[in-house]
Structure 1
Amino acid sequence: MKKALLIAGFFLLTGSYSFAQTFEYKTITVVESIVPNGLGRSRMISSEEERNYKEFTSQRSEENDERNKSDRGDIRLKNFEETKLLNFFNMGGIRFQNIAANDAVVTSRLNDLAEQGWELAFVNSGVESYSGEDDDGGIYITRYIFKRSKN
C-alpha cells in the first residue's frame, strides 16, 4: 500500500500525470479609419453569438469540386458589441489625440477581458492605407485573440 501511495505521490508532484486542458477562444476586432477629413468610421467589434464553421465549410477535391452553397444570411449575425472609436485623421491631418484615446479605450477592454479570465493569445494586424487623391479609403485592423480554460 505504501508503494502505491508513493508512486501516486511521485506522479502528482512531478507533473508526469497530466490532465488534458481545453480552451475557448474569443476574437475582438478593432477597425480604425485612416480616411482623411474624419469621414471614416472606427469601431471595436466582438461577437455576442457563436457560429459553427462546419456549417459553412465544404471539402473540395478534383473529384468533388462543388462549392459551399451556404446562405450568407445564415452566416451573418445580429448580436454583436460595437464600441465607437475615433478616426486617425481629421480636417487637419493625423490626430494623435485620437490615437491615444483609442489606445485608452482598447486597453480598457483588454483589462476587462483579463479580469474575466481571458488571456491574450495572439495579435494580428493589417493595413489598407490611404494613398492620395484617387484613394478615398483606408483602414487599420487589429485582431486580438483571447483564450481561457473551459471549466
Structure 2
Amino acid sequence: MKKIVLLITLIFVSFTDAFAQVEYKIITSVESIVPNGLGRSRIVSATEDRDYKEYTSLRSDDKKEDKRNKADRSEIRVKNFEETKLLNFYNLGGIRFQNIAANDAVLTSKVNTMIEEGWELAFVTSAVESAGKGDGNGIFITRFIFKRNKE
C-alpha cells in the first residue's frame, strides 16, 4: 500500500511540474571598453512588459498577403526600468582589474537577489562589440536569463 501511495504521489508531482507556467526575465549588463573611462557601464532591467506581437509584421512573397505593422517605434521604448551603475573596464591608466572585480561583486549581488526572489538562472550569453582592428571603443554585453514558475 505504501508503494502505491508513493507512486501516485510521484506521478502527481511530475504532472503538476509539467503543467506549471514559467515566466522569464532578462537582466543585461553593459560594460564599456572605451579607453580613458569615457564610456558608461550599467546593469539594466525592464520593469514594464511588452508583447512582441504588437510590433511584428507578417511578410510573404504574395504582396496581397502582407500585413505590415504600423506601430510607431517609440511605442516599443520602455521608460520604466532599473539601472544600476557599474565601473568601466578602462580609466586613464589603462585596464582596471579592480573595476572588473567591483563589477563582479555588484553582478553577484544582483544574481543572488534574483535567486532570493524565486528566480533561477537559466542561461547566460555574452558578446563583445567593436568596429574592428585598431578600434579601442566598444561594449561587453552579458544577458542573464532567469526563469521561475508563475504564481
TM-score range, shorter chain: 0.7 to 0.9
Q: Tell me the distance in 2 between the aligned counterparts of 1:132 and 1:18.
A: 54
1:148 counterpart = 2:148: yes
Aligned partners of 2:128, 2:39: CA distance in 1, in Å?
A: 14
Amino acid corresponding to residue 42 of structure 2 in structure 1: R
Give the Cα–Cα distance (whole angstroms) in 2 for the partners of residues 29 and 62 of structure 1: 36
1:81 match: secondary structure: strand
Equivalent in the alignment of 1:13: 10
C-alpha deviation, 1:43, in angstroms: 0.3
Q: CA deviation at 1:70?
A: 1.7
CA distance in 2, matches of 1:106, 1:57: 33
Give unmatched runs, 5+ long, in structure 1.
Answer: none
**Structure 2 residue aligned with 1:49:** 48
1:50-69 → structure 2 map (5 Å cutoff): 50-63=49-62, 64-69=65-70
Q: How big is the shift at 1:11?
A: 2.9
Partner of 2:106: 105
Cα separation, partners in 2 of 1:145 and 1:17, compared to 1, 3 Å = closer
Shift of 1:13: 3.2
What is the TM-score when the length of structure 1 is the normalising length? 0.86
Count of aligned positions: 146
**Runs of 4+ with >2 A deviation:** 6-17, 64-69, 129-133
Give the corresponding residue for 1:138: 138
State the TM-score, normalizing by the size of structure 2: 0.86
Q: Deviations over 1:25-66 (max 9, x none)?
A: 110000000000000000000001000111111121111345
Q: Which blocks of at least 5 consecutive residues in structure 2 are unaligned?
A: none
Paired residue for 1:122? 123
CA contact (8 A) 2:130 2:136 kept: no
Q: Is contact 1:127-1:139 (8 Å) kept?
A: yes
Deviations 1:84-143 (A, max 9, x none): 00000011111000000000000000000100000000101000147566x352000000
| RMSD (Å), alpha carbons | 2.2
Q: In 2, Cα distance between the equivalents of 1:44 and 1:92?
A: 24
**Residue in structure 2 matched with residue 70 of structure 1 by the alignment:** 71
Alignment partners' CA distance in 1, 2:14 and 2:139? 48
Once the two structures are aligned, what percentage of the paired residues are identical? 62
